[in-house]
């Protein structure tokens, strides 16, 4: 079942001045349970495509449907609500809330979703256990290593039970051990719980673990390979 259908995506920055065409008619579909990496050289449009699919940016042309909803037509407030319910985010620089503990960070989006305290409590502990941080729940981000912070970010992304998790260069700031550890966790969650992951990455280690690799060059999909 297709959960993401991006059709004819174009993105032009500075259309009235010196126009920069970041995406030139990208068509992409993602099915439930995929573990997909979007790769390509710097400036190829990976992050732009991810931002548009993740509802953080509007395309200049084309449409993005997530579970049948055309998010390219939603306004900013509707997009915020949509992201809250459907999309989990993992950012390159972790971007946890520095004044909250690991557990509170994981609970945060569930709180925005108005989930009950008991549900928040149970799910955040489950997720932190799943990413191997059950003994770090009361630590703030500044007390955790980069790898641990990114694992908290993965737990936070999964907390709202999103349609898919979007990860923008998730391993860019991590050492090899932390990268391997993080990829193991995400691969396990993908396999065991059928969670859909969509990455943008330069990292060969991530590319090696992805089951589908979409290569972007100059804002166009050059190759789209699925490994078996």
Indicate whether 83 belongs to the interface with other proteins (CB under 8 A). yes
Does 24 bind other proteins (CB under 8 A)? Our answer is: no
From the list 98-106, 170-178, 199-207, 215-223, the region that binds other proteins by CB under 8 A is: 98-106
Does position 20 bind other proteins by CB under 8 A? no
Burial 22-52 (b: 16+ CB within 10 A, else e): bbbebebebeebbbbbbbbeeebbbbbbbbb
Which residues share a beta bridge with 75? none
Q: Which residues in the 36-65 window bind other proteins by CB under 8 A?
A: 51, 54, 56-57
Q: What tokens were used for 175?
A: 């050492």
User: Does the footprint of other proteins cover residue 197 (CB under 8 A)?
Assistant: no
Q: Would you count residue 111 as binding other proteins (CB under 8 A)? A: yes
Q: Is 62 left (phi over 0), alpha (psi -120 to 50) or beta?
A: left
Instruction: Check residue 99 for interaction with other proteins (CB under 8 A).
Output: yes
| CA separation for the pair 158, 189 (Å, rounded) | 10
Output Rg (C-alpha) for the chain, integer angstroms: 17
> Which residues in this chain contact other proteins in the complex, by CB under 8 A?
51, 54, 56-57, 76-77, 80-81, 83-85, 89, 91, 93, 95, 97-100, 104, 107-109, 111-113, 156, 160
């Amino acid at each position: 079942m297709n959960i993401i259908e991006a059709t004819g995506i174009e993105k032009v920055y500075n259309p009235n001045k010196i126009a920069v065409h970041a995406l030139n008619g990208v068509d992409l579909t993602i099915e439930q349970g995929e573990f997909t990496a979007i790769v390509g050289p710097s400036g190829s449009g990976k992050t732009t495509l991810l931002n548009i699919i993740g509802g953080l940016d509007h395309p200049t042309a084309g449409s993005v449907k997530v579970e049948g909803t055309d998010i390219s037509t939603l306004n900013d407030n509707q997009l915020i609500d949509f992201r809250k319910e459907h999309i989990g985010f993992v950012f390159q620089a972790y971007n946890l809330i520095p004044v909250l503990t690991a557990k509170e960070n994981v609970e945060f989006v569930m709180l925005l979703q108005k989930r009950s305290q008991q549900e928040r409590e149970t799910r955040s502990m489950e997720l932190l256990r799943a990413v191997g941080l059950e003994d770090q729940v009361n630590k703030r981000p500044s007390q955790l290593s980069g790898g641990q912070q990114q694992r908290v970010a993965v737990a936070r992304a999964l907390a709202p039970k999103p349609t898919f998790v979007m990860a923008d260069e998730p391993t860019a700031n991590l050492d090899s051990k932390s990268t391997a550890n993080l990829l193991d966790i995400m691969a396990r969650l993908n396999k065991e719980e059928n969670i859909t992951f969509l990455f943008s990455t330069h990292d060969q280690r991530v590319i090696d673990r992805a089951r589908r690799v979409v290569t972007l060059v100059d804002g166009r999909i050059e190759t789209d390979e699925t490994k078996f």
